[in-house]
Chains A and B, each alone.
Chain A
Amino acid sequence: MKRSRHRIGLLVGVLTLVAVVVACVSVVPAGAVDVKPRRVIRDRDPNFSTLSVDSVNNEILVGNDAQESLQVYSRTAHGLVAPLREIKSPPATDTTSPHNTFVTFPGQVIIDPLHNEIWSVGNDIADLVTVYSRTADGNVSPIRRINGRLPQFRFNRSWGLSLDTVNDEVAVTHQKRNRISIFARTTNTDTDPAATTKRTISGSRTGLADPHGVFIDTTVNEIYVVNSGESLVTVAGLPVGATASPSITVYARTATGNVAPLRTIQGTNTGLDHARPLFVDSGRQEIVVADGSPTDRTGTATSRRSGSSRETRPASATRRESSWTGSTTSSSSPTGAITRSPCIRGAREATSSRCA
């Protein structure tokens, strides 16, 4: 009887295996060829797309979107140096190793020395906020995630990230949704898939148009956002493409819904050009933004000024050549306007030298 059961079990096992193989064959079409390319064009340099400085631990965090990693350097590092730590999964062509980090197309990054955490938001179709231990290194899993693809969030091309440790909140911007979402700092959709946002700012009155960098200034209770200008506006109930001038819009920290900005900086005098990250220096009442290529400029504006009625020139502007913009790799688009940083080149960057 036992032998009979064993035979039946074996038969079921074999049939299952056959079914699995047949199923696999149906999704792997015949004629698949794993052929070597004749040529590959690939940039092995890092592209430091974003930057955050930890003045407590004297470290710099950069999002490297060319190698899909988060790298930590000493704050005083200079020249061709290896990162102290790197959060990085195996390459996507590796289908046998685990891919634990979920780092892809990193938008803004944050070091939070208060809670010993590192934050990153995945742009493109990732739409995922990931949080790691500050000292994480290698192919490590995040300790928390906010999955923006859940139906209650519907992120779409999320890029900006700002942490408010006073009110324990985090803000995320979404390029395609023209929206800012505010979450509780400890939101984790892995443990609570039904988690919700605390507030959102979106709608026709907000002036949000392809928003990128965001900054919560708790000293004056305001949220600052830099907008590229592209959006869909509603005309006679239908979405219509529009390209406005880039802008900086400012809202009350607790604003919610379809609210007009408190102030707007916009116009040809501003010189804004595909601006990405934004930082507010409350002590000096200044806003710092980094323009993308080919402008490659960091601009500073007075944080209390509005350009909605008259155009505002930046109080000062610094070109990449003059040495203090955040991103100084061979890649263009300085997108780390946070603080003074030395020139760092990735360890693999041996063929170009804009750090000189």
Chain B
Amino acid sequence: MSHPRLAVFARKAKGQVAPLRILEGQRTGLSRSSHGVFLDAENNEVVASSPLGGAIVVYGREQKGNTSPIRMIQGSLTHLNSPQGIAVDNTNHEVVVSNDGGLSILVFDRLANGNVAPLREIIGPATGITTPEGIVVDPVHDEIILADEGDPEANPVIPPSLRIFRRTDSGNVAPFRVITGPSTGLIRPRQLQLDTERDELVLADRGLPQEFIYAPETQGYIGFWNRTDSGDQPPTRIIRGPRSQLSSPRAVYIDMENDEIGAGDTTSHSIMVYRRDFDGFDDRDDRDDDHEARDRGHRDHDHDRRGF
């Protein structure tokens, strides 16, 4: 919906369920198109972009209602202009922002508040930043990975890409790795995540349904690449197709603890949750899991009764 708000659901929520809590209203400072939302579990905070107000807003994790952010980065020193993706680096205590209107990546102190200058800014023609969207920071390998939509209307066309910079880069620097080209299948890349256990990049690509183009090869998808991939490299695997119920996913999350991947789909206004080790022959859903667990319980109970 076009009403800006943050809604929190139970992790195992399913079907038509109410959110646990909602943060919405004038005082929140949220605007429409808040595409970047980062749950900072370590600090019990939620960090979001507010593109129309050129701001980054930070809330307590359990904050709800029409309440003000606990911190807000906004003003002339910030260089924020239609911020999109957000990533928090708790190793180096920084917030990394993809800044669509400024064609840049901005890095702030994690506790920055008010009209403050970024610590670093990656900006300039060498960066190749054209339409910055999702962003991930990897403090282990000291990398920032940016999903960039490119510009399909430019002449010549600027293709979409995943652009990898060093975490401490600043100024007019080129990415040291780029995933781009026709074999990548990139169409309209959006939110990006890093699976640190599998060393994989996981991308939500919204495809073209929002441009009213509906074909199997232009539907949105969730794609996976090895973190160190570069060049015209196809994803190692993708989730796409009618059974997936995906049409135009803009958001993706990885739950390594519970071995799940979730996607927020724009055109169906839904959240889909998949097994992280999915395969095409797996038709099980939670109900089957529940049956399995119950059967397992019955078997265990039988074993107990029989003295095993």
Which residues on A are within 8 Å of B, measured CB to CB? 24, 26-45, 47, 49, 65-66, 68, 91-95, 99, 102, 104-105, 107, 123-126, 157, 159, 175-176, 210, 228-232, 235-236, 238-243, 246, 272-274, 276, 292-295, 331-333, 335, 351
- Chain B residues whose CB sits within 8 angstroms of the CB of A293 once the complex forms: 3, 5, 22, 24-25
Q: Assess whether A42 is in contact with B268, with CB atoms less than 8 Å apart.
A: yes
Known: A31-B235, A36-B283, A37-B273. A272 touches B26 (CB 8 A): yes
Minimum Cβ distance to chain A for residue B154 (Å): 13
- Chain A residues whose CB sits within 8 angstroms of the CB of B214 once the complex forms: 92, 94-95, 99
Q: With an 8 A cutoff between CB atoms, is B128 at the interface? A: no
Q: Assess whether B282 is in contact with A41, with CB atoms less than 8 Å apart.
A: no
For the complex, give the distance between the alpha carbons of A243 and B12 in Å: 36
- Chain A residues whose CB sits within 8 angstroms of the CB of B260 once the complex forms: 38
Cross-chain contact of B74 among A102, A107, A241 (Cβ < 8 A): A241
Cross-chain contact of A123 among B2, B24, B289 (Cβ < 8 A): B2
Q: Assess whether A29 is in contact with B14, with CB atoms less than 8 Å apart.
A: no
Contact with A along B1-34 (1 / 0, CB 8 A): 1111100010011111100001011100101110
Contact with A along B52-63 (1 / 0, CB 8 A): 111100000000
Contact with A along B228-253 (1 / 0, CB 8 A): 00000011111111111111100000
For the complex, give the distance between the alpha carbons of A125 and B289 in Å: 38
Q: With an 8 A cutoff between CB atoms, is B275 at the interface? A: yes
Please, which residue of chain A has its CB at the minimum distance from the CB of B12?
A: A39
Q: Assess whether A28 is in contact with B217, with CB atoms less than 8 Å apart.
A: yes
Q: Assess whether B237 is in contact with A33, with CB atoms less than 8 Å apart.
A: yes
Please, which residue of chain B has its CB at the minimum distance from the CB of A235?
A: B76
Q: With an 8 A cutoff between CB atoms, is B183 at the interface? A: yes
Known: A35-B278, A38-B284. A240 touches B242 (CB 8 A): no
What are 11 pairs between A and B in contact, CB < 8 Å?
Answer: A35-B279, A36-B283, A36-B285, A37-B245, A37-B285, A39-B273, A91-B267, A99-B212, A210-B32, A210-B53, A241-B78
Q: With an 8 A cutoff between CB atoms, is B165 at the interface? A: no
Minimum Cβ distance to chain B for residue A257 (Å): 22
Known: A31-B236, A273-B66. A65 touches B2 (CB 8 A): yes
Minimum Cβ distance to chain B for residue A255 (Å): 23
Please, which residue of chain B has its CB at the minimum distance from the CB of A33?
A: B280
Cross-chain contact of B215 among A37, A95, A331 (Cβ < 8 A): A95
Interface centre among B32, B218, B267, B275 (most CB of A within 10 A): B32
Q: Assess whether B216 is in contact with A28, with CB atoms less than 8 Å apart.
A: yes
- Chain B residues whose CB sits within 8 angstroms of the CB of A335 once the complex forms: 3
Interface centre among B237, B248, B260, B269 (most CB of A within 10 A): B269
Q: Assess whether A243 is in contact with B53, with CB atoms less than 8 Å apart.
A: yes
For the complex, give the distance between the alpha carbons of A229 and B52 in Å: 9
Q: Assess whether B282 is in contact with A39, with CB atoms less than 8 Å apart.
A: no
- Chain A residues whose CB sits within 8 angstroms of the CB of B74 once the complex forms: 241-243
Q: Assess whether B241 is in contact with A32, with CB atoms less than 8 Å apart.
A: yes
Known: A35-B279, A42-B15. A92 touches B55 (CB 8 A): no
Please, which residue of chain A has its CB at the minimum distance from the CB of B282?
A: A35
Number of B residues with CB within 8 Å of any CB on chain A: 87
For the complex, give the distance between the alpha carbons of A42 and B217 in Å: 25
Known: A35-B282, A102-B212. A240 touches B241 (CB 8 A): no
- Chain A residues whose CB sits within 8 angstroms of the CB of B268 once the complex forms: 42, 91-93
Known: A39-B14, A49-B1. A27 touches B182 (CB 8 A): yes
Please, which residue of chain A has its CB at the minimum distance from the CB of B55?
A: A241
Q: Assess whether A27 is in contact with B16, with CB atoms less than 8 Å apart.
A: no
Q: Assess whether B271 is in contact with A332, with CB atoms less than 8 Å apart.
A: no
Please, which residue of chain B has its CB at the minimum distance from the CB of A331?
A: B1
Please, which residue of chain B has its CB at the minimum distance from the CB of A239?
A: B81
Known: A34-B280, A39-B286, A273-B66. A28 touches B185 (CB 8 A): yes
Minimum Cβ distance to chain B for residue A31 (Å): 4
Q: Assess whether B183 is in contact with A26, with CB atoms less than 8 Å apart.
A: yes
For the complex, give the distance between the alpha carbons of A94 and B17 in Å: 25
Q: Assess whether B209 is in contact with A92, with CB atoms less than 8 Å apart.
A: yes
Q: Assess whether B245 is in contact with A93, with CB atoms less than 8 Å apart.
A: yes
A-B interface, 3 closest residue pairs, ranked by CB to CB distance from nearest: A241-B54, A34-B241, A230-B53
- Chain B residues whose CB sits within 8 angstroms of the CB of A124 once the complex forms: 2, 210, 266
- Chain B residues whose CB sits within 8 angstroms of the CB of A40 once the complex forms: 14-15, 245, 270-273
Minimum Cβ distance to chain A for residue B30 (Å): 9
Q: Assess whether A105 is in contact with B54, with CB atoms less than 8 Å apart.
A: no
Known: A36-B243, A175-B52, A236-B76. A41 touches B15 (CB 8 A): yes
For the complex, give the distance between the alpha carbons of A261 and B75 in Å: 25
For the complex, give the distance between the alpha carbons of A38 and B260 in Å: 9
Q: Assess whether B285 is in contact with A39, with CB atoms less than 8 Å apart.
A: yes
- Chain B residues whose CB sits within 8 angstroms of the CB of A273 once the complex forms: 25-26, 66
Q: Assess whether B26 is in contact with A37, with CB atoms less than 8 Å apart.
A: no
For the complex, give the distance between the alpha carbons of A210 and B54 in Å: 12
For the complex, give the distance between the alpha carbons of A213 and B137 in Å: 39
Q: Assess whether A238 is in contact with B76, with CB atoms less than 8 Å apart.
A: yes
Known: A29-B235, A159-B2, A239-B101. A229 touches B209 (CB 8 A): no
Q: With an 8 A cutoff between CB atoms, is B108 at the interface? A: no
Q: With an 8 A cutoff between CB atoms, is B297 at the interface? A: no
Given contacts A40-B15, A294-B22, 9 further A-B contacts (CB under 8 A): A33-B238, A33-B278, A35-B243, A35-B244, A41-B270, A42-B270, A92-B214, A92-B248, A99-B214
- Chain B residues whose CB sits within 8 angstroms of the CB of A36 once the complex forms: 243-244, 282-285
Q: Assess whether B209 is in contact with A38, with CB atoms less than 8 Å apart.
A: no
- Chain B residues whose CB sits within 8 angstroms of the CB of A49 once the complex forms: 1-3
Q: Assess whether A45 is in contact with B16, with CB atoms less than 8 Å apart.
A: yes
Q: With an 8 A cutoff between CB atoms, is B65 at the interface? A: yes
Known: A39-B13, A231-B52, A239-B81. A66 touches B234 (CB 8 A): no
Please, which residue of chain A has its CB at the minimum distance from the CB of B275?
A: A38
Q: With an 8 A cutoff between CB atoms, is B219 at the interface? A: yes
- Chain A residues whose CB sits within 8 angstroms of the CB of B237 once the complex forms: 31-33
Minimum Cβ distance to chain A for residue B157 (Å): 14
